[in-house]
Structure 1
Amino acid sequence: MAEPDRRTANGVREGWREGWPDEGGARRVLWGLRAYGFIVAMWVRSTMAYRTSFVIMLVVSFATTFLDFAAIVIMFSHVKELGGFSLPEVAFLYGTSNVAFGLADLLLGQAERIGRRVRDGTLDVLLTRPVPVLSQVAADRFALRRLGRICQGGLVLGWSLVRLDLDWSVGKVLLTVSMVLCGGAIFGCVFVLGGAFQFWAQDATEVQSAFTYGGTTMLQYPPTVFAEDLVRGVTFVVPLAFVNWLPALRVLGRDDPLGLPGWVDFAAPAVALLCCAVTGLAWRAGLRAYRSTGS
């Protein structure tokens, strides 16, 4: 018996075809990841067709992000400490923030383009394909040149680890790795949440950038240079402090300016999982609220 032509309220056919996995199950998630990989591979092959152009763009991306750290170095040529933090300590914050953000920007940064698709109606095309919309949006025009930010942040992080005089332990090593991975997940959630918000706002890219690009710039500096209300906001409202501030204070042996319990420094994985759950609900709500252009 042929499968019925199911349509949404706005007339767009849902992506139901032979081989479409069960909704809500692990198979759907795996299928979404597989489809994401296929689309990414396509864009990588396209990028590698022009290797010289790719290398130039990679170098430009590396150099552009390096200017941010150059500004910090120039700042330290006039002062010995910034908010009580030395240059290697600030470099540690800078490196963890940029690597985490770079991973999120590379893997999910295209979610900020969803507003344009909503406005011009091209989102309808994505809805007709038997692939999760988020996989298509995130992998669309996959920009391999964004590896430049990750490489630059990784070099600064490596330099800071060499210069820091710390008593390293297995716990501190795991906490540092967790900062990069969980921080990337948190930033990725912010990208997707911003994209979900654009289903209603349609043009909120600048608002989203304030929390993504603005957030990573803020996390490059010690929390002690900011007002306590701002630190509370990025801890309890938009949990960017869990990207690197709170765990980094534990690694560096610094006191928490908010006086939070010690276990909070290890809460980044739980916060990342909670953010993923909230993001998934918000994204599904945004898709349900979408109204086609009718074209």
Structure 2
Amino acid sequence: MAEALRAYAALFGGRLRSATAYRASFAVELITNAGGTVLDATTVFVLFRAAAVVGGFTLDEALLMTGITASGFVLADLTVGNIDQLKTYVRSGTLDAVLVRPLAVLPQLVIADLPLRKLSRFAVGVTVLIVAVVSNDIDWTPGRVLLLATAPISGAVFFGAIFVLSASLAFWWVESGEVGAAFTYGGRDFTSYPITVYGSWFRAVFAYALGFGFVSYQPALTLLDRADPLGLPAWTGYVAPVVALVAAGIAALVWRIGVRHYRSTGS
């Protein structure tokens, strides 16, 4: 275990030195990457310029959902988002070099291209969440404090699982990038707004069958002490960690099957 940790630390150190070798370029990337999360939050304000209430929620209430999603998604994107490059490794055969090392495959791929430039996006996501919490009149209880602390982490685990699941498709279908993006970035957009704005069938599939409704919508309702317009009980806001762990377990299983299924290109 100690040797494996030293090896991972060496990989991370190499990635860190590579990313910061050109400091001016790295600084520019930090600034420009922050713009992506700022734009995501701005779209919510644009939407509420047309109406004071959307889907039964005010701007401040919807912004709380956006903040939970933004902080959770960017944390997942920062840590495992680069796994979507797996299709490139499979196509070129460079995955072979990773498989022959005496280390777990997934951590190697994650650390090898850790997108440190996205740190600024995480800072913006947390800022949006803080602004949303301050803007809403929340009746704080120990349970709600714990929920606020765990909701972004649960969201990060859930989105991280979606990233891994989507990338795993490359073991069977190399050109699966667009399909994967529909669930990762599409899922981010879906959870950034109250799910009451979507059609019933679309909501049933994405929010409940696939679990996206438990990323930010249900936790936000519990924090706001609001009854769910769709009829789910109040305690469903606290099941986000369970949903995230189930998603992570499924992702781990599919990943292991995919690695075993992989056949070298011979390059």
TM-score if structure 1 supplies the norm length? Answer: 0.85
Amino acid in the other structure paired with 2:141:
S
- Corresponding residue of 2:12: 40
Picking from 51, 68, 76, the partner of 1:96 is: 68
Matched, 1:183 2:158: no
Contact 2:66–2:216 at 8 Å: present in 1 too?
no
CA displacement at 1:31 relative to structure 2:
6.8
Counterpart residue number, 2:175: 203
Change (3 A) 1:71 1:236: closer
**1:160 matches 2:135:** no
1:238 pairs with 210, 214, 222, which one?
Answer: 210
Give runs of aligned pairs for residues 45-194 of structure 1, distance below 5 A.
Answer: 45-194=17-166
Larger Cα Rg: Structure 1 or Structure 2?
1
Cα distance in 1 for partners of 2:151, 2:97 equals 37
Q: Which structure carries more helix by proportion?
A: 2
Which of 250, 269, 272 is residue 222 of structure 2 equivalent to? 250
2:260 matches 1:288? yes
> Offset at 1:32?
6.2
Distance (Å, rounded) in 2 between the aligned partners of 1:255 and 1:38: 50
In 2: Cα distance, 1:184 partner to 1:201 partner: 26
**Structure 1, residues 176-196: CA drift from partner, whole Å, max 9, x if none?**
111101110010001111121
Q: Tell me if structure 1 keeps the 8 A contact 2:195–2:207.
A: no
Q: Is the 8 A contact 1:33 1:135 kept in 2?
A: no
- Please identify, of 103-112 and 261-270, the stretch whose mean Cα deviation from structure 2 is larger: 261-270
Deviation at 1:40, TM superposition (A): 2.5
The residue that corresponds to 2:186 in the other structure is: 214
Give 1:33 shift: 6.2
Equivalent AA in structure 2 for residue 272 of structure 1:
A
Residues 199, 287 of structure 1: 8 Å contact kept: yes
Asked if the contact 2:151–2:216 (Cα under 8 Å) also holds between the matched residues in 1, the reply is yes
Unaligned runs of at least 5 residues, structure 2 = none
CA RMSD for the aligned pairs?
1.8
Q: Contact (CA 8 Å) 2:139, 2:224: kept in 1 or not?
A: no
Show structure 1 runs of 5+ residues with no match: 1-26
2:184 alignment partner, SS class: helix
Matched position secondary structure for 1:248: helix
Stretch moving more, 251-260 or 141-150:
251-260
Q: Distance in 2 between matches of 1:274 and 1:71?
A: 31
Report Cα offsets for 1:260-284 as digits up to 9, x if no partner: 3333221111222222221111111
| TM-superposed deviation, 1:77 | 2.8
In structure 2, what is the Cα distance between the partners aligned to 1:274 and 1:208?
A: 19
- Which of 250, 264, 277 aligns to 2:249? It is 277
Q: Percent identity?
A: 39
Inter-partner Cα distance in structure 1 for 2:94 and 2:28: 31
Mark the CA change 1:276 to 1:33 in structure 2 (over 3 Å): closer, same or farther.
farther
Letter aligned with residue 215 of structure 1: G
Of the structure 1 ranges 252-261 and 201-210, higher mean CA displacement relative to structure 2 is found in: 252-261
Aligned pairs, number: 267
